[in-house]
Amino acid sequence: MKKYLLPSIKLTALLILLCAVLYPLLIAGIARLAPGQGKGETLTVNGKVVGYENIGQKFTEDKYFWGRPSAVDYNAAGSAGSNKGPSNPEYLKTVQERIDTFLVHNPGVHKEDIPSEMVTASGSGLDPDISPAAAVIQVKRIANVRGLNEKTLLDLVAKHTEGPLAGILGPSKINVLKLNIDLDKLNK
Amino acid sequence: MNSEMTGVIVTFIITLLIAFPLGKYIAKVFKGEKTITDFMSPLERFIFRVSGIDTTKEMNWKQHMAALLCINGVWLIYAFVMLLVQGSLPLNPDANPSMTPDLAFNTSISFLVNCNLQHYSGESGLTYLTQLYVITFLQFVSAATGVAAVAVLFRAFAEKTTEKLGNFFVFFTKTITRILLPLCIIVAALLAFNGTPASFDGKDTIVTLQGDSVQVSRGPAAGMIAIKHLGTNGGGWFGANSAHPLENPSYFTNMVEVIAQVILPMALIFAFGFFIRKKKLGYAIFGVMTLGMLTFMIPTFFSEMGGNHSFATLGLHDVSAMEGKEVRFGVPASAYWQVMTTIISTGSVNSMHDSSMPLSGAMQMLGMMTNCFYGGKGVGLLNYFIFLIIAVFISGLMVGRTPEFMGRKVEAREMKIAAMIALFHPFLVLVGTAIAAYYPQAAWGLQPGNHGFSEMLYEYTSSSANNGSGFEGLGDNNIFWNLTTGIVMLLGRFIPIIGPVAIAGILAKKKYIPESAGTLQTDTATFGIMTYAVIMILAALAFFPALTLGPIAEFFQL
């Protein structure tokens, strides 16, 4: 085994150079041509950065569309799911509380109609999206708070609905931050 | 059919369409034939010259293993030291601390052995320097180690009677320069153009639309995420792995990542058939493995899409199992990923396995318990080879003939090795779980009852299978878990590599017996079913009692 030691050490040094130094630099170089230059794509309002397109944000005020519950409170310094097992009684209590909170803030909505994604935490705690159904169910609340008519809001939701990839692959979704940025523009 | 199911089926078809030609290409690379990547040969010659490696020197199986263990030893020491002192090294914009010795022990082994179990969270547990110089580096070389080991198997059955099985360093280096690096550059570029960060900027602080101040972790992640999948490593840049919206920003990147992790394990099976000029055997193995995949995939789909019935008791009509899942992937694409990542030993996740339905959890564990349907980079085929030998032996007994495989007699010595390797994995998993269940600081840390048991069982299964995913509700960054899983990972890696390579080496040396009318045909559907039965029966006998205490009991409580 000893005779392999020196070649192993030399080979290791060369491969560190190739795989850990040159390769990431090459990718960083390629990424400079990409949108956001490889630093993450940001969204701005009046020239001020208000967030990252792909990173969900916490919305608790009634005037905004809410995103999903988060195990890290939407602080993207970290990321995590709740990792609660499906039968955990403590977990089911949390879900019950989320249902209650949602009903209090959305008078007129029936419990049966709440999409499960609105009372379950996402995998990353940073999920930027909700489904179209989860947006539509919040329209009534927002229309009341903002004094807008529901039709305008439903149109906005429809405009922000991104269909499946290439029209046929995967789910439809809505980016909550982008939706709320446009929502703020309606009142101006 | 709805778009989410179409997405899954299209993903599988694309995987197959890429894997087949890739298999042909890999066979050519290992034969040293002309390929489109011949422009790499000056670089390879330079590497071999500087390292002092004589590429013409062929090795027998023992020399192969000596070289493999030697270079792995170098990496282990290097990685351990780097992680211990990372806090005082450069390229640390977020000022993250050094690792504790037990965590560094666990993490260095974890990435060395292609497992990528993570008892830290990427955003706070590593620096950019160690993410690249330790983690990314080990992801390349550990994947190439597995492929170099399986290349010995290729050589052993390509020729009649031989002791010369090629050169470890050549197989290893060419795997990086000809297979991993070119594919990684393509995948990393696709990710970078679809929203994954790749620059060296540190954490950003922003004020959100609602007025909260939050931070956003970033970094040169795209390159690492490419190799984590192509190398079936699985360890993520961010804590939430491929559920993180920067690590996996869209349905498109999700397809890219899940395809990237499956193509090489699949391609290696075809490559085996092409290399030994027995294409049909390659197809037969692929068929059995696909059957195995479906055995776990179909129940997972039913279980995940059936949703969480506890929600109905809370009054919801929509009981979709969205806990731990992301809206942009949805349930079917998450279920597909759960199965693929566990059968091929990647261990990256795009949904939190701990929150998946009990029967899905059982399927994930069975995927790792069998650990050979497509399987990890190189090692999947090596594991399968063990079961193949056992199936040959049992079939031989059934028809009353001396068992033969590819013109070589399978005798007592090979059978002893095969049986020991087949039993070693259940041994590690079950003994580990038993100790943890008994040890008060380890067991039932955060979640009660059968689910708590599942978390421990999953952790050791994942460690021994070198998978690296986890039921992350387990509070696993402490001395008990760091040390025990570290040891299990180390044993679970090298023993199952040495065993099959030894068998291949021993068989290759034996006298070649030409095929006759009495030869057992190993490339038929009948023999395929036989192998499948051997794999499933062994897994059931070893693991069913433990699964009953965990996920199956939980299933009946829901």
Contact A176, A57 (CB under 8 A): yes
Query: Do B331 and B419 sit in the same domain of this protein?
Result: yes
Q: What is the pLDDT of residue B257?
A: 97
pLDDT digit string, tens, across residues A21-64? 999 999 999 999 998 888 989 999 999 999 999 999 999 999 99
Query: Do B441 and B504 sit in the same domain of this protein?
Result: yes
Give ∠ CA B477-B496-B121 in degrees, rounded to 5. Answer: 20
> How far apart, in Å, are the Cα atoms of A172 and each of A130, B89, B102, B312, B375?
9, 45, 44, 24, 32
Q: Of B250, B269, B294, which residue is a domain's last?
A: B250
- Please determine, for residue B133, whether its predicted confidence score (pLDDT) is greater than 70: yes
Q: What is the pLDDT of residue A163?
A: 94
Determine what percent of chain B is predicted with pLDDT higher than 70. Answer: 98
Query: Do B197 and B320 sit in the same domain of this protein?
Result: no
- Looking at residue A95, its amino acid is V
Give ∠ CA B243-B247-A78 in degrees, rounded to 5. Answer: 75
Query: Do B286 and B151 sit in the same domain of this protein?
Result: no
Mean pLDDT (whole number) for A163-177: 95
Give ∠ CA A161-A162-A165 in degrees, rounded to 5. Answer: 155
**Distance (Å, whole) CA B534 – CA B285:** 14
pLDDT digit string, tens, across residues B240-261? 999 999 999 999 999 999 999 9
- Please determine, for residue B1, whether its predicted confidence score (pLDDT) is greater than 70: no
Helices (H), chain A: 5-15, 23-31, 89-105, 132-136, 139-146, 150-160, 176-186
- Indicate which of B6, B60, B120, B318 best probes the interface with A, i.e. most A CBs within 10 Å of its own CB: B318
Q: Is residue B25 domain-resident?
A: no
Mean pLDDT (whole number) for B323-352: 96
**Distance (Å, whole) CA B258 – CA B114:** 17
pLDDT digit string, tens, across residues B214-223? 999 999 999 9
Query: Do B74 and B213 sit in the same domain of this protein?
Result: yes
Instruction: Using DSSP bridges, classify how beta strands B204-207 and B213-216 pair: parallel, antiparallel or unpaired.
Output: antiparallel
* 8-state DSSP, B87: G
Query: Do B242 and B368 sit in the same domain of this protein?
Result: no
Q: B3-18: string of b/e by CB count within 10 Å (b at 16+)?
A: bbebbbebbbebbeeb
CA A100 remoteness from chain centre: 23
- Please determine, for residue A174, whether its predicted confidence score (pLDDT) is greater than 70: yes
Query: Do B184 and B327 sit in the same domain of this protein?
Result: no
> Could you list the residue range(s) of the whole structural domain that residue B515 is in?
281-557
* 8-state DSSP, B243: G
> How far apart, in Å, are the Cα atoms of B535 and each of B338, B391, B411, B539, B542?
20, 9, 20, 6, 11
Q: What is the pLDDT of residue B477?
A: 84
Q: Is residue B15 domain-resident?
A: no
CB contact under 8 A, A126 and B132: no
Give ∠ CA A98-A99-A102 in degrees, rounded to 5. Answer: 85
CB contact under 8 A, B121 and A75: no
pLDDT digit string, tens, across residues B145-166? 999 999 999 999 998 888 899 9
Contact B308, B317 (CB under 8 A): no
Mean pLDDT (whole number) for A129-153: 95
CB contact under 8 A, A85 and B454: yes
How many domains in chain B? 2
Within 318-357 of B, beta carbons closer than 8 Å to A belong to: 318-330, 333, 349-352, 354-357
- Please determine, for residue B443, whether its predicted confidence score (pLDDT) is greater than 60: no
Q: What is the pLDDT of residue B288?
A: 97
Closest residue in chain A to residue B180, using alpha carbons only? A19
Q: What is the pLDDT of residue B475?
A: 78
> Which range has the worst mean pLDDT, A129-138, B179-188, B514-523?
B514-523
Q: What is the pLDDT of residue B476?
A: 81
* Whether B316 contacts chain A with CB within 8 A: yes
Query: Do B466 and B325 sit in the same domain of this protein?
Result: yes
How does the average pLDDT of chain B come out, rounded? 94
Helices (H), B247-329: 251-275, 279-306, 310-313
CB contact under 8 A, B133 and A20: yes
- Please determine, for residue A164, whether its predicted confidence score (pLDDT) is greater than 90: yes
Query: Do B232 and B297 sit in the same domain of this protein?
Result: no
Query: Do B430 and B285 sit in the same domain of this protein?
Result: yes
Number of helices and strands in chain B (H, E): 21, 4
* A51 DSSP β-pair partners: A43
Q: Is residue B346 domain-resident?
A: yes
Let me know if B52 is exposed, middle or buried by CB neighbors in 10 A (0-12, 13-18, 19+).
exposed
- Please determine, for residue A137, whether its predicted confidence score (pLDDT) is greater than 60: yes
Q: What is the pLDDT of residue B441?
A: 66
- Please determine, for residue B114, whether its predicted confidence score (pLDDT) is greater than 80: yes
Q: Answer left, alpha or beta for residue B275, where phi above 0 means left and psi between -120 and 50 means alpha.
A: alpha
- Please determine, for residue B518, whether its predicted confidence score (pLDDT) is greater than 80: no
- Please determine, for residue B311, whether its predicted confidence score (pLDDT) is greater than 80: yes
CB contact under 8 A, A23 and B557: no
The band of B31, judged by pLDDT with boundaries at 50, 70 and 90, is: very high
Query: Do B114 and B220 sit in the same domain of this protein?
Result: yes
**Distance (Å, whole) CA B429 – CA B539:** 12
pLDDT digit string, tens, across residues A59-106? 999 999 999 999 999 999 999 999 888 888 899 999 999 999 999 999
Within 131-150 of A, beta carbons closer than 8 Å to B belong to: 131
Closest CA to B146 of B508, B501, B497: B497
- Please determine, for residue B194, whether its predicted confidence score (pLDDT) is greater than 70: yes
- Please determine, for residue A123, whether its predicted confidence score (pLDDT) is greater than 60: yes
Give ∠ CA B212-B254-B103 in degrees, rounded to 5. Answer: 70
* Whether A23 contacts chain B with CB within 8 A: yes
Q: Is residue B226 domain-resident?
A: yes
- Please determine, for residue B209, whether its predicted confidence score (pLDDT) is greater than 80: yes
Q: What is the pLDDT of residue B450?
A: 87
Contact B224, B139 (CB under 8 A): yes
Determine what percent of chain A is predicted with pLDDT higher than 90. Answer: 87
Give A149 to chain B, closest Cα distance, Å.
Answer: 22
CB contact under 8 A, B328 and A92: no
* Whether B472 contacts chain A with CB within 8 A: yes
Closest residue in chain A to residue B204, using alpha carbons only? A77
Mean pLDDT (whole number) for B467-496: 91
Q: Of B205, B233, B250, which residue is a domain's last?
A: B250
- Please determine, for residue B521, whether its predicted confidence score (pLDDT) is greater than 90: no
Q: Is residue B122 domain-resident?
A: yes
